[in-house]
Each structure stands twice: as C-alpha cells, then as structure tokens.
C-alpha cells in the first residue's frame, strides 16, 4: 500500500509530487514580493500623485484576470513549461512557441536589470558612495557568482532573502500603524491626485508600472509537476498569493505617501528609506537599507536563475545553439547560459533606468499574458479526462483585452521601452535563425542534429 502511495506521487518516474497548498502559497507570495515595491513606489508616485496605493490595487485586479487563465491551464496541463507549452498546444507553430519562451526569458533579464539599477541607488549609498552604474554592474557580478556556484546554494540564499524582504515590508506597515495611532503624517495626502495628464491617465500610467510589482505569480506554474494536487491547489495558491501581496503593497504604498510627499518619493531611488527616515522611530536607516538591498538582490537572483535555466533548456531541446547547454564540470551549472544572460543584463543596466527597465519587463509579459488568455479560450476545444478549474469565459476575454490595452502607448510609456523590447525579441529572432542554419549545416555533414533543431520545437 505504501508503495502505491509513493508511485502516485511520482511523475513519469521523475519528479515527486511533494509540494502542498501551503508551500505553493508561500512560493507565490515569495516570488511576487521583492524589488518592485522597494524600488517603484516613487516611480508610481510620479505618475499618479499621492494615491499611490490605487495603481497597485488596479494592477492586482488585472493580474487576477490573467491568473484565472493560468489556473485553468495548469490544472488542465499540469506540466512545468508555462506559457510556451500553452502556446504550443494552442497554435502548434514552432516559431510562436519559441518567441513566447524567449519573451519570458528576456522579461527575467530585464527584471534583474531593474533590480540591479535599484541596488546601485540610494539604498547602497547608505554604506558606500558609488556611481549608480558602478554599483549596479558590481551587483550583477555578485549575482552571477552565486548563480555559477550552484542551484543548491542559490536556493538556500533565496529562502533567506525572501524572509528578510518580507520582514522589511512588515517594518513599513508597522511604521504606518504607529504613525496613524500617534496622529503623525498626513493620511489625506494618500487620497490626492496631481498627475500632469489628469487622474485617469495618471492611474493608467501608474498601473502599467505597478504591474511590475505583481509579476512572479506566473512562475509558480513551473512547479506543476511537483505539486500534490495541482488541479485543486494551484487556483487557491495563485489567488491567495496575489491577495496577500496586494494587501501588503497597498498598506506599504498608503504609509509611504502618508509620511512622505509624492515629489520626494519620485525623486528618490530608495523611496522606502525615505519613509523610515520620516517616521522618527528608532529603527536604524542603515539596517533598513540593508534589508532593501537584500530584497532587491533576491529579485535579481530569482530572475537570473530562471533566465539562465530557460536558455539551457532551450539548448537541450535544440531550439537554440547547443553551446548554451554547456555545463560547468565541477559546479554543474549552465555557465554559458549564465554568461549570456548576464551579458544582456549588463547592456540593459548601462542603457536604462529603473522605471524604463521595469516598464520593459511589464511590456514583454503583458504580450505573453494576452496570448495566455487567448490560449485558454482556444484550448477549450480540447477536452481532458480529469476535472480542473474553469475560468468564467469573460475573465480571460477581459484579461486579454486589458493586457493588450496596457501594452499600448496610450499608457504614456516611452518609445524607448518599445524599442528596447523590440531589440530583445530581435535577438531571439537572430538566435532562432542561427540555430536553423547550424542545424542544416549539421544535416549536410551527416552529424547528429539535436532534438527539435529541425522543427524549432
């Protein structure tokens, strides 16, 4: 009987189904929390004014719409491949599958670049005075060393940093409660709007940025093959994780503008440090700056791990040149893939700011999310034998429409963001073409061709 139980928790003789609902919930919360709230409160304040909490709330509603699509698809196809898998099943076009996967990959690189720029700002200035770019590049080098050290070491660092970043946000919320009880600050300021283009456009632009802080929930689908009951547990974890984080974010945003005016927040590269300084409490600013630096570091580490493993996985499948699949002989890490992703990140850090890089991340994923919402509707024609969560049809429809709308220039997004995203996807197109040429050359010489290299799947 015991053997039957064990077998039921193994997928195709490989991954074990050992992750329960609570662990899934913690994973979603931990994946969402990070650099977004630590770095972008000031940027959102610049868009909307004092009511910084509102764009975070609107972004949550829009993210929840797309989460319903992911919840249905992960229940229907409990496999660890995410958006690329859904695009492949829905359309069966190799290049579409590839470019979706590459867009997710590049969103991880741009997110890590955002974190690097945030790291090199005022949080770091509490300890050492360095040009932002120097601090950011030095930080990328450190993250790369951790990534090269090995996945076990990286995951252990990630767990510790997740707990630290959550503690930092609890500190901000506690500051808000103390300030309200003591009659400090100006709560009315958190209800003010003073964007240059009007309240609606301000909230729209702020939402497009705040969306960055809620990204990460989609990464949890990669645990589908290791969850005990993915069809039952994933919807609860996705929606519960988003709900927990939006409560934290709105409370933090409300506290920030209650204690610090919007212009000061906008001008700061360490906005939550301004909140600690304004609170007048005994909590050491340097300690909070350290917490913020570690939180930002965690975001970069998670994204660089994800990005490098995606490149490695594509190489193993023959979708990109096989050189990207090379593994270090002693550390067992995909060192070529790691160096490729960090090289792209270094270029991005050198040419963009926090807001622009965050917006590029959002733009790439908005397009992916729109496609995922379409996929769930297309795949309704394909029946599966098991029960699974089914989203009300209007939710993925509205999710696709809202993602496409937020991806438009109407949000006030700078043209350089679209150019940067296009250039990154252009790199993907170049890698695709190069791999096809190499595959044909190997066929012509009679050398073995990697699986998928001919079709690009």
Structure-model confidence comparison of residues 13 and 345, the more confident one: 345
Domains observed in the chain: 16-445 (1.20.1740.10)
Say yes or no to pLDDT of 274 above 60: yes
Residue 6 confidence (pLDDT): 36
pLDDT for the residue 186? 84
Q: pLDDT > 90: what percent of the chain?
A: 17
CA nearest neighbour of 423 among 183, 133, 102: 102
pLDDT in tens, 55-114: 999 999 999 999 999 989 888 887 756 788 888 889 988 888 889 888 988 988 998 898
pLDDT band at 373 (very low <50, low <70, confident <90, very high): very high
**List of residues 6+ apart from 439 with CB closer than 8 A:** 318, 449, 450, 453, 454
**For position 363, what pLDDT does the model report?**
92
Per residue in 282-300, pLDDT (tens digit) is 678 888 888 888 888 878 8
Q: Which of 24-33, 122-131, 299-308 has the highest mean pLDDT?
A: 122-131
Paired sense of beta strands 15-16 and 10-11, if any: antiparallel
Residue 22 confidence (pLDDT) above 70:
yes
Residue 319 pLDDT class (50, 70, 90 cuts): confident
- Asked whether residue 428 carries a pLDDT value surpassing 80, the answer given is yes
Question: Quick one: 378 exposed, middle or buried, by C-beta within 10 A (0-12, 13-18, 19+)?
Answer: middle
- pLDDT higher than threshold 70 for residue 353: yes
Residue 435 has pLDDT above 90, yes or no: no
Tell me the C-alpha distance between 374 and 364, whole Å: 16
Cα(364)–Cα(99) distance, integer angstroms? 11
Q: How confident is the model at residue 222 (pLDDT cuts 50, 70, 90)?
A: low
Confidence grade of residue 158 (pLDDT, cut at 50, 70, 90): low
Quick check: 235 pLDDT over 50? yes
pLDDT at 328: 80
Q: What is the pLDDT of residues 193-218, one digit of tens each?
A: 876 667 778 888 888 888 888 887 77
Whether 407 and 70 have beta carbons less than 8 Å apart is answered as no
């Amino acid at each position: 009987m015991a053997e039957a139980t064990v077998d039921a928790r193994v997928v195709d003789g490989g991954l074990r189904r050992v992750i329960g609902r609570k662990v899934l919930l913690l994973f979603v919360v931990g994946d969402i929390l990070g650099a977004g709230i630590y770095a972008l409160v000031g940027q959102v304040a610049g868009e909307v004014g004092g009511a910084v909490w509102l764009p975070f709330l609107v972004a949550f509603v829009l993210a929840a719409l797309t989460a319903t699509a992911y919840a249905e698809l992960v229940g229907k196809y409990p496999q660890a491949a995410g958006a690329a898998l859904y695009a492949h099943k829905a359309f069966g076009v190799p290049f579409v599958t590839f470019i979706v996967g590459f867009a997710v990959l590049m969103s991880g690189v741009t997110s890590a670049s955002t974190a690097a720029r945030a790291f090199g700002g005022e949080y770091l200035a509490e300890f050492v005075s360095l040009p932002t770019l120097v601090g950011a590049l030095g930080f990328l080098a450190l993250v790369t060393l951790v990534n090269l050290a090995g996945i076990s070491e990286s995951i252990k660092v990630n767990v510790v940093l997740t707990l630290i970043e959550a503690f930092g946000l609890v500190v901000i919320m506690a500051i808000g409660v103390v300030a309200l009880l003591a009659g400090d600050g100006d709560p009315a300021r958190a209800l003010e709007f003073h964007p240059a283009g009007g309240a609606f456009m301000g909230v729209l632009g702020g939402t497009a940025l705040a969306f960055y802080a809620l990204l990460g929930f989609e990464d949890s689908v990669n645990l589908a093959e290791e969850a005990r009951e993915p069809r039952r547990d994933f919807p609860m974890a996705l929606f519960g994780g988003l709900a927990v984080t939006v409560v934290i974010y709105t409370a933090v945003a409300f506290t920030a503008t209650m204690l610090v005016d919007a212009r000061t927040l906008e001008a700061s590269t360490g906005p939550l440090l301004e909140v600690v300084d304004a609170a007048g409490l005994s909590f050491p600013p340097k300690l909070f700056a350290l917490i913020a630096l570690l939180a930002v570091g965690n975001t970069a580490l998670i994204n660089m791990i994800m990005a490098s493993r995606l490149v490695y996985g594509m190489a193993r499948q023959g979708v990109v040149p096989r050189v990207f699949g090379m593994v270090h002989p002693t550390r067992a890490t995909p060192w070529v893939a790691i160096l490729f992703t960090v090289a792209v990140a270094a270029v991005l850090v050198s040419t963009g700011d926090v807001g622009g890089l965050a917006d590029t991340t959002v733009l790439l994923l908005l397009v992916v999310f729109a496609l995922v919402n379409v996929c769930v509707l297309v795949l309704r024609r394909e029946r599966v034998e098991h029960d699974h969560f089914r989203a009300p049809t209007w939710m993925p429809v509205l999710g696709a429409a809202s993602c496409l709308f937020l991806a438009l220039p109407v949000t006030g997004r700078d043209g350089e963001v679209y150019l940067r995203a296009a250039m990154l996807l252009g790199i993907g197109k170049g890698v695709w073409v190069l791999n096809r040429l190499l595959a044909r050359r190997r066929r012509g010489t009679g050398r073995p061709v990697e699986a998928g290299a001919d079709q690009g799947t």
